Amino acid sequence: MDFYKYIRSRDIRKYLETEGYSFSPIQSAWLVWMGRTFPITERHNDWKWIIDNMPDCEVPERPNCEYWSSLHKLVSEIIKFEEDCIELFMAKEESSIYSYQYKCDGDLDWTECFENAFSSFDKCINGVKSELPEYDKIVEIRKTYIDTNEFILAEYNSKMELIGIEKSNMTNDEIDLLSLSFDGMWFDFPIPFKKGDIVKSASYNWGRSFEPFVLLNTNPWMKKERALKTGRYTEGCDSSDMNASGYSTGFYESDPLFINDDVMCDYLDLEYYRGEYTGPQRLLPLLAKQITGEIDIWEYTYGYRQIVSEYEFERTKKEMGSFVMNSSPVYEILRGATSFERT
Task: Enumerate the H helices of the chain as residue ranges.
Answer: 10-19, 25-34, 40-53, 71-90, 121-131, 172-179, 219-230, 283-291, 297-320, 322-326, 329-337
Residues 110, 111, 117, 122: is their CA dihedral positive or negative? negative
Higher pLDDT, residue 204 or 35: 35
Half-sphere exposure of residue 45: CA atoms within 13 angstroms, side-chain side: 7
CA distances from 58 to 26, 128, 129, 183 (A): 9, 44, 45, 16
Mean pLDDT (the chain, rounded): 90
Q: What pTM does this model have?
A: 0.88
Nearest Cα neighbor of 189 from 245, 226, 230, 236 is 236
Q: Is residue 165 within 8 Å of 40, Cβ to Cβ?
A: yes
Residue-wise pLDDT for 161-194, tens only, equals 999 999 999 999 999 999 999 999 999 999 999 9
Query: DSSP code of 15?
Result: H
The residue-averaged pLDDT of 119-148 equals 87
Residue-wise pLDDT for 312-326, tens only, equals 888 777 777 655 555
Higher pLDDT, residue 143 or 208: 143
Q: Is residue 261 within 8 Å of 247, Cβ to Cβ?
A: yes
Residue-wise pLDDT for 280-298, tens only, equals 999 999 999 999 999 999 9
